[in-house]
Copies of this chain bind each other. A is one copy, B any other.
Amino acid sequence: MYDDGRNRVAIDYVGPQVDGGRFPIKRALGETIAVTAYAFADGHDQIRVGLLYRKSGQAEWTIRMMDYEVNDEWSGSFPATEFGDYLYTARAWVDRFATWQSDLRKKLEAGQNIALELRTGAPILRQAADSAAPAEAQRLRDWALLFESPDRIEPAARVALGQELTEIMAKHPDRSGATTYHLELAVLVDRPKAVFSAWYELFPRSFGPPGAHGTFRDAERILPDIAALGFDVLYLPPIHPIGQTHRKGRNNSRTVAAGDPGSPWAIGSSLGGHKALHPELGSFEDFQHFVRKAAELGLEVALDLAFQCSPDHPYVTEHPEWFRWRPDGTVQFAENPPKKYEDILPLNFESDHWRELWEELKSVVRFWIDQGIRIFRVDNPHTKPFRFWQWLIEEVRRDCPEVLFLSEAFTRPKVMAHLAKVGFNQSYTYFTWRNTKWELEQYIQELAQTDVGEYLRPSFWPNTPDILPQYLQYGGRPAFIIRLVLAATLSASYGIYGPAFELCVAEAPEGREEYLDSEKYEIKQWNRNARGNLGPVIERVNRIRRRNPSLQSTRNVELYPIDNEALLCYAKATADRSNVTIMIVNLDPHHRQSGWVRLPLEKLQIDPHRPFLAHDLLTDDRYIWQGETNYIELDPHVMPAHILRVQKRLRREVDFDYFM
């Protein structure tokens, strides 16, 4: 039998919740966490519902009263003022005083005798008096006596329904028999960059003098340019010593030529492993200088965490127990049969010595945290155990909650989602291959408007050093602008593999979605100022993102209808709708496309009977529009997209309204 069967309120749901509370939701510092509860009692009694929340580790709940919405749903919120984890749940109880007061009012309005009802209220006031300060307690007791005076019904009724009593009683709620929801839900509070960030990826070795291996000092020289383009994260592929054994040559060739630098992801040589620097890039002092210089320019350096080894990595000899050995006495290299990756040895997470392995890998992260790094792009996390990541991220966050991990898991949907659930702060997505209107609409709805948005923060990348999608191969410069605008305005976080994107590099091996002459296997010389480079467009897009808070969130996206399958229209607004941006993108990089967009005027608070101004922030063009449907025409060879801000009233020299 139940401990207290008199407990009459049920709480059926508190949310948001992920997988029945198994995983936390994610929010950024400064965000308000809106909470919904479904709560109700048997019968007609009124209830009150409190939102309980506390910082993880604190003993005491803070309670905030929730508001009744509709259909037994209650809403409340609390602010995320500190990094780390908060817990939240709800508690509800029958409000005897409010029930009594409401019944009394109804009876009075129906002209019924309320003498008995007033007397019934007296003990409720006396009980509240027991927990009130002396002065208030005295007033409550006086009123209780008044309620019991059969000859003073009218003044008693005035007190009973009056504001003064209501306010005093609200201070002394009787929460006996309260029900607390059976789950404590968690929210991870990250810093805002977890939600809103613009990443630029480059290989520092490609920024030296012609023919030479570039260094951190060389690469430092282009930091002002990258910062001027408006990026705030500079992501470097692995910067560790590169193995010699089975080193890949240009274009992933199995035969290596003298001077071929090898893939930075083949980590480790006699010169060191994951805690060492590739000597040709420079010293730790150079690296520190690079990171500081970037920080001064507003660029945070993100490193790559690729937990794998070249055959020359010191781990192989120092910790043979962390590898899988084959019957011929060699270490098992990475395979996805029939493909072989002989330059990469995976770590064996099924080793009997997994605990030591986990600790060592954590020490790698700690090492780079000590070097000032707070963002890690994690290479192929889906080929290492989920439990390892959950542990690692929790451990790191405990001391250093500002650290962010981006999951590079281009894998199956449920695996990708699970990695986000176990803790990754950002995730690569399928955006890279979503090109048509239907695909983009479906995908952004899934990411932004379902539960997925509670735990998976997308990062949209039009390209990476590994991936040159067909759309970019065949669409020319307009395709790059289209994908840039989509990535940067659909998702609050996005990134580009920078130089190749800026220069619209589009050459791939026949039938593949990879770069020909990939920078992974050779040192490039980039002329970022070449004719046709996208610098000015990128700079403009990033500036628009910074100046329009509506673009600094992903989950606020709304799709608007437009009657052309080549045109995609979506909008974003801040919660108070003070900033609204409307994006219209021509997905066809070849042809001019036109159509009629339909705007939800009421939601946008636009008067259907007056003209308004649509100001294109990309081109600075302005369009005078009126009403729900408006004409769009986008020539991809001029500019394939609009990013519009709506100005609701046209400014006029003379205010004609006076005469209308």
A contacts, CB < 8 Å to B: 1-2, 5-8, 10, 12-13, 17, 19-22, 38, 40, 42-44, 71-72, 102-103, 106-107, 109-110, 112, 116, 119-120, 122, 148, 177, 182-183, 326-328, 335-338, 349-351, 354-355, 358, 382-388, 391, 412-415, 417-418, 421
Contacts and interface: CB of A to CB of B under 8 A. Distances in A.
A222 B40 CA distance: 43
Given A20-B19, A40-B415, A327-B116, A355 B5 contact: yes
B382 A43 contact: yes
A407 to B, nearest CB: 12
B338 A106 contact: yes
Nearest to A177: B350
A71 B413 contact: yes
A5 B43 contact: no
A413 B12 CA distance: 12
A42 B338 contact: no
A383 B38 contact: no
A382 B110 contact: no
Given A2-B391, A5-B391, A116-B328, 12 more contacts: A7-B387, A8-B350, A12-B417, A17-B20, A22-B182, A42-B385, A42-B386, A42-B415, A71-B412, A72-B415, A102-B337, A103-B337
Contacts of A384: 42-43
A119 to B, nearest CB: 4
B414 A72 contact: yes
A10 B412 CA distance: 13
A17 to B, nearest CB: 8
Contacts of A40: 412, 414-415, 418
Nearest to A99: B337
A538 to B, nearest CB: 36
Given A2-B387, A7-B385, A350-B6, A418 B107 contact: no
A8 B386 CA distance: 7
A474 to B, nearest CB: 29
Contacts of A183: 20
A616 to B, nearest CB: 40
A327 B120 contact: yes
A42 B414 CA distance: 11
Contacts of A13: 19
Contacts of A382: 42-43
Contacts of A17: 20
Contacts of A385: 5-8, 42
Nearest to A13: B19
A504 to B, nearest CB: 35
Contacts of A102: 337
Contacts of A1: 355, 358, 391
Contacts of A20: 17, 19-22, 183
23 contacts: A5-B355, A5-B387, A5-B388, A6-B385, A8-B349, A8-B385, A12-B418, A20-B22, A40-B414, A42-B349, A43-B383, A44-B383, A71-B412, A71-B413, A72-B412, A72-B415, A102-B337, A106-B337, A109-B338, A110-B338, A112-B338, A116-B328, A177-B350
Q: Which 5 A-B pairs have the closest CB atoms?
A: A20-B20, A110-B338, A106-B337, A119-B327, A72-B414
Contacts of A336: 44
A7 B349 CA distance: 9
A655 B186 CA distance: 70
A355 B4 CA distance: 9
Contacts of A335: 103
Given A112-B338, A177-B350, A354-B6, A326 B120 contact: yes
